[in-house]
Amino acid sequence: MNNKKRKEILFKIYSENFKFIKDNSSLKDNFDKGFGCFCPICLDFFVKEDLEDKINPLTLEHNPPQSLGGKSSILTCKKCNSDAGHKIDNEILTALLEIDALHFKPNSEIKTQFYNESTDGKGVNAKIKIEEDGKFLINIDTKNNNPKIHKKFFDSEVQEYNSPLFSNDISKSGWSKKLNFTFDKPNKTNERLASISLLKIAYLMAFEKLGYLYIFNKNTEIIREQIKHPEKEIIKNPFWITYQFPDNLLGVNIITKPRELRSILVIFNLKTKSDSYKISICLPGFSEGDEKIYEKIKDILCQGNGFQNIEVNNYINSEYNIKDIEKTFRLVQFWESFVEKQ
Ligand SMILES: [Zn+2]
């Protein structure tokens, strides 16, 4: 399917979702714009003509980012799409590629500097690549290096003699050359920005699944503010849960117990060339005070046995579908009749 068609389909699904909510709530009396939908990040309203608007059209957004295996699943406005892309989406990619490299996982790569006594503290630029089969390839080319330092570095190899009499491995005996060096671990990651990009992925997944029912919930205001202003510390505490939930919970779920952790739990995989990372992020639920979830995660889970008491309900994943327009408000009913009573 081409992008234009895909945009039109998404526009229709989410505009119908909004129309249903509007027609069945107090909004019907005081919302005077036509058939359309909102950008889930800035909450600007768009009608169909805006799909082609030159200045700020609705755009297909890959969520999670395409570089981490995501698909084009929602519409956000061009401004939000590119702002977040520049400010935060790259951060999570950088962070995961660094983790891959630090663990020398197959298909990972480290750009670094090698140091030894010959390099005068300057270092030679080098690239370490770990191949599919685990082999290390080290590339120190002259193009990226000062030729003098480059030469000195290679001249610093030492000759070593291993007597075959005392060697366990006869192939390693005799004369050999050795280059000794150290290198810095990569650490370009801005952890704070990387974590906000996880929050954004989770928020947009919740929107994709639940539509405007979720983002008109006032508890989600702080999430949008944090995504729009990644440089500010609006949410101080962790929003992730460091527990490996089973694969059948991938998607949007509800933590029902313990009461203090009641929240929407979004679980997703991010895929690099080397590995797959399962991430679990909490978002506020629908009850009053649920936006305080982030003040509690750290306290409860740091007590050690917090996970034993976690109960996750998969109602949203198994029962809820944005296209099932008649069932739009069922989640609120489920929340009030079941989740709040837990
Ligand atoms: Zn926007």
Model pLDDT for residues 266-279, shown as the tens digit of each residue: 999 999 999 999 99
Domain ranges across the chain: 3-98+189-339, 117-180
**Cα(129) to centroid of ligand 1, in Å?**
39
**Cα(333) to centroid of ligand 1, in Å?**
29
**Cα(50) to centroid of ligand 1, in Å?**
12
Predicted confidence at residue 196, as pLDDT, reads 95
Q: Global pTM?
A: 0.89
Cα(224)–Cα(283) distance, rounded to whole angstroms? 11
**Cα(157) to centroid of ligand 1, in Å?**
57
**Cα(52) to centroid of ligand 1, in Å?**
15
Predicted confidence at residue 244, as pLDDT, reads 85
Q: Which amino acid is at 6?
A: R
| pLDDT above 90 (res 59) | yes
**Cα(236) to centroid of ligand 1, in Å?**
24
Question: Span 2-27, mean pLDDT?
Answer: 94
Predicted confidence at residue 83, as pLDDT, reads 87
Token couple for 258: 């313990």
Give pLDDT tens digits for 241-268: 888 899 999 999 999 988 888 999 999 9
**Cα(77) to centroid of ligand 1, in Å?**
4
Residue 33, Cβ neighbours under 10 Å: how many?
A: 10
**Can you name the residues that pair with 283 across neighbouring β-strands?**
264
Predicted confidence at residue 267, as pLDDT, reads 97
More confident residue, 225 or 86: 225
Cα(166)–Cα(188) distance, rounded to whole angstroms? 44
Question: Span 113-139, mean pLDDT?
Answer: 89
**Cα(87) to centroid of ligand 1, in Å?**
14
Predicted confidence at residue 64, as pLDDT, reads 95
**Cα(75) to centroid of ligand 1, in Å?**
9
**Cα(150) to centroid of ligand 1, in Å?**
49
**Cα(47) to centroid of ligand 1, in Å?**
13
Cβ 70 vs Cβ 63: under 8 Å: yes
**Cα(56) to centroid of ligand 1, in Å?**
9
Question: Span 206-220, mean pLDDT?
Answer: 96
Residue of 282, 107, 91, 124 lying closest to 195 (CA atoms): 91
Percent of the chain scoring above 90 in pLDDT: 59
Q: Residues with Cβ within 5 Å of ion ligand 1?
A: 39, 41-42, 77, 80
**Chain mean pLDDT for the chain:** 90
**Cα(29) to centroid of ligand 1, in Å?**
25
HSE-CB of 312 using CA atoms within 13 angstroms: 25
**Cα(42) to centroid of ligand 1, in Å?**
4
Cα(196)–Cα(229) distance, rounded to whole angstroms? 10
Peptide bond into 258 cis (omega under 30): yes
**Cα(227) to centroid of ligand 1, in Å?**
11
**Cα(167) to centroid of ligand 1, in Å?**
67
Predicted confidence at residue 302, as pLDDT, reads 57
Phi, psi of 281 (to 5 degrees): -120, 135
Residue of 320, 248, 332, 329 lying closest to 290 (CA atoms): 332
Give pLDDT tens digits for 129-176: 999 998 889 998 888 888 888 888 988 888 877 777 666 676 667 777
Query: How confident is residue 184, by pLDDT bands cut at 50, 70 and 90?
Result: confident
